[in-house]
Amino acid sequence: MSGDPSDQARSTAVKQLKALGLSTYAARTFVALVSLGEGTARDLSEVADVPRTRVYDAAGELHNRGLVDVKQSSPQRYWAISTETAGRHFEQEYDHRVTVLTDALDQLVPANRSTEQQGVWTVTGRDTVTERVVDFISSADDEIVYMTAEELLTDEIAECLSTVSDRGVSIRLAEMSQSVEARLEQDVPDAKLFESLWNWSETPAGRLLMVDQNKTLVSVLVDGNGEHPPEPRDETAIWGVGQTNSLVVVLKTLFTWQLDNNRDSQDVR
Amino acid sequence: MSGDPSDQARSTAVKQLKALGLSTYAARTFVALVSLGEGTARDLSEVADVPRTRVYDAAGELHNRGLVDVKQSSPQRYWAISTETAGRHFEQEYDHRVTVLTDALDQLVPANRSTEQQGVWTVTGRDTVTERVVDFISSADDEIVYMTAEELLTDEIAECLSTVSDRGVSIRLAEMSQSVEARLEQDVPDAKLFESLWNWSETPAGRLLMVDQNKTLVSVLVDGNGEHPPEPRDETAIWGVGQTNSLVVVLKTLFTWQLDNNRDSQDVR
DNA sequence: CAGCTATTCACTCACTTAATCACAATACTT
DNA sequence: AAGTATTGTGATTAAGTGAGTGAATAGCTG
């Protein structure tokens, strides 16, 4: 009845709907109803592959959620809202959730989130690491030293650097690939380049970041070689904050030495 | 240790986190970690009221989601991201979900979503009815006739009316309460007022809407009197589309008669 | 009225998740 | 250095949720 690409669309739609909190039956029923436009319990049962006797529950759930309208005839018919409306609907619901959540959490957060720590924290996952990097960069008052692999320089990061640069924070970027440099030159004209410690492009290193000589983060790209599915969870980072933090101390000396050497126009290694 | 308001904040936060897809343990652990800022499994177990041996799983789940970073010490310590970051994090995740969903659904939607229907569909819930109203108004090509109870005139609706008015759609508003009229006069200066059929403010009626003499919706405010919790699900609407649709036909004649009478400056009833 | 269909309800089964326990590994104390 | 306390991991049990099935009721059609 339906081809392969259509089936795939179905299953991803069902997956997302379930993740959005619908039951399997409700998700399948909704997808069927969208592709049918309108239909009876029997129709839906066939297309959605949901037991006929359970379509009513599923449709009820959908009606409660406001995704489906009901016609009180016999047999009763169901009608699905448009995809755009569905999108808006979920967005609204979600915004509300997040607002309520952050409000509640803000009431709980203690006054002093310590600014001096002993050890280092680990973060996993490319997107998550990016989040930390953005947090760090955004919090900069004075100076940022940053080295990054090309593939990890997202628009988000570039934009973030540009913002703090406008705020007057001095930015030092390690020598990286041509394209990265060119890109940043455009977005962050005030950034100063310096010679990299390593041959950056040949290491599996991800990023090095130091903010205000006070917060540091270093990441590496892991697996990607020995793993079966090409997971996006392919970056691992450690970070630490505080003047006495060991990671901070190490990177600070490293960078200081590096930057000083560079200032004397000496090419190191 | 913590007062009543704080406890309430905790429980709502936990509720939202669970709705966002976390397990109860993970949700409780995260909330505890936010109010602690940082802590060991033991600390969390006490504050979160989660069995100590399960805190590790919960923290793992949170770490995978990118909400918590881990310190590899002994005992290992956990650190929660800031509430703002958490908010951004969920927003991003959600935007992605909705995008994927709508893309998939758009592939499934059939070419012809019929424009001619027999019966009437029912919708429940104030927000959901508003969604339909917005859909209808947005789709207007020619003319809108609208009557609404004051409390139901949200900013969203006013804005929507204003948009289509700019597009050249003629808008006729029934006589309503002073404040509603004043408000719309400002947002939608081109709208023409006409005398209402009923003494609008004294009926439990919600809204009447006719778009292009082709789509109609009528809603009433239900319960709100006999129900124990003041539920927001207090509006029920029916709608139908098509020239031959019975509801459309009825409302069309009603409005036409009404508007014609009004044009002759006759006050009806 | 008879036969069919639609709808609801009650129940089973399977699976996820909460909760406890037992044990191994590690750190701390004297 | 040995003993004790604490941390982390895994296995196990219990409870709850949701998928799936069938029977019973209500409603329609001819």
Reported as a single tens digit per residue, the pLDDT across A125-170 is: 999 999 999 999 999 999 999 988 877 888 899 899 999 999 999 9
A126 and A60 belong to one structural domain: no
Any domain includes B105: no
φ, ψ of residue B146 in degrees (nearest 5): -145, 135
Domain of residue B230 covers 118-268
Cα torsion angle, B229, B232, B233, B236, sign: positive
d(CA B73, C1' C25) / Å = 14
Place of tokens 């003499």: B213
Q: Which nucleotides of C are covered by protein (CB under 7 A)?
A: 5-10, 17-22, 26-27
Q: Is A204 helix (H, G, I), strand (E, B) or coil?
A: coil
B123 and B81 belong to one structural domain: no
A190 and A69 belong to one structural domain: no
The Cα angle at residue A93 between residues A88 and A96, in degrees rounded to 5: 125
A251 and A130 belong to one structural domain: yes
More reliable by pLDDT, B35 or A113:
B35
More reliable by pLDDT, A33 or A111:
A33
Which residues, 6 or more positions from B262, have their beta carbon under 8 angstroms from its beta carbon?
B194, B195, B268
**Domain CATH number, residue B74:** 1.10.10.10
Percent of chain B with pLDDT over 70: 84
Q: What is the pTM of this model?
A: 0.86
Any domain includes B194: yes
Looking at B85, B104, B136, which one is the last position of a domain?
A: B85
User: Residue B58 is encoded by which pair of tokens?
Assistant: 């919960």
Q: Among A6, A35, A94, select the one facing B94 at the smallest CB separation.
A: A94
Residues 108-127 of chain A sitting with CB below 7 angstroms of strand C: none
Radius of gyration of chain B measured on its C-alpha atoms: 26
Which residues, 6 or more positions from A116, have their beta carbon under 8 angstroms from its beta carbon?
A241, A242, A243, A244, A245
Beta bridge partners of B170: B143
B68 C-beta less than 7 Å away from strand C: no
A25 and A66 belong to one structural domain: yes
A83-108 vs B4-19: helix crossing angle, rounded to 10: 150
Question: What pLDDT is recorded for position B180?
Answer: 76
Looking at A85, A110, A137, which one is the last position of a domain?
A: A85
Q: Are B147 and B208 a contacting pair, CB within 8 Å?
A: yes
Question: What pLDDT is recorded for position A199?
Answer: 60
A46 and A173 belong to one structural domain: no
The type of residue at B45 is S
Q: From the CA of B58, how many Å to the nearest CA of chain A? A: 16
Cα torsion angle, B93, B95, B96, B102, sign: positive
Question: What pLDDT is recorded for position A225?
Answer: 47
Partners of A123 on chain B (C-beta within 8 Å) are 66, 69
Any domain includes A105: no
Question: What pLDDT is recorded for position A23?
Answer: 94
d(CA B57, C1' D16) / Å = 20
Partners of B91 on chain A (C-beta within 8 Å) are 94-95, 98
Any domain includes B152: yes
Any domain includes A111: no
Q: Name the average pLDDT for chain B.
A: 84
Reported as a single tens digit per residue, the pLDDT across A158-212 is: 899 999 999 999 998 876 677 777 887 888 888 887 766 666 556 667 889 999 9
Q: Between the CA of residue B255 and those of A122, B132, B214, what are the distances in Å?
A: 67, 20, 12
Count of domains for chain A: 2
- Counting DSSP H helices and E strands in chain B, the numbers are 9, 10
Question: What pLDDT is recorded for position B15?
Answer: 93
Partners of A132 on chain B (C-beta within 8 Å) are 69
B241 and B145 belong to one structural domain: yes
Kindly determine whether residue B37 and residue A72, on different chains, have CB atoms separated by under 8 Å: no
Please check the confidence at residue B233 and state whether its pLDDT lies above 50.
no
Please check the confidence at residue B14 and state whether its pLDDT lies above 90.
yes
| Range from A11-25, A195-209, A252-266 that averages highest in pLDDT | A11-25
Kindly determine whether residue B13 and residue A82, on different chains, have CB atoms separated by under 8 Å: no
The type of residue at A221 is L
Any domain includes B106: no
User: Residue A201 is encoded by which pair of tokens?
Assistant: 């492009």
Any domain includes A133: yes
B74 and B187 belong to one structural domain: no
A32 and A142 belong to one structural domain: no
d(CA B55, C1' D13) / Å = 19
Place of tokens 């949200």: B154
Q: From the CA of B176, how many Å to the nearest CA of chain A? A: 28
Q: Max CA-CA distance within chain B? A: 87
Mutate: best of A70, A128, A218, partner B, most B CBs <10 A: A128
Considering all nucleic acid strands, name the nucleotide whose C1' atom is nearest to the C-alpha of residue B41.
Answer: D7
B158 and B218 belong to one structural domain: yes
A19 and A66 belong to one structural domain: yes
Residue A264, CB-side half-sphere exposure with 13 Å CA sphere: 8
Looking at B34, B66, B85, which one is the last position of a domain?
A: B85
Which residue approaches C20 most closely, CA to C1'?
A: B51
**Domain CATH number, residue B226:** 3.30.870.10
Question: What pLDDT is recorded for position A122?
Answer: 94
Any domain includes A166: yes
A253 and A183 belong to one structural domain: yes
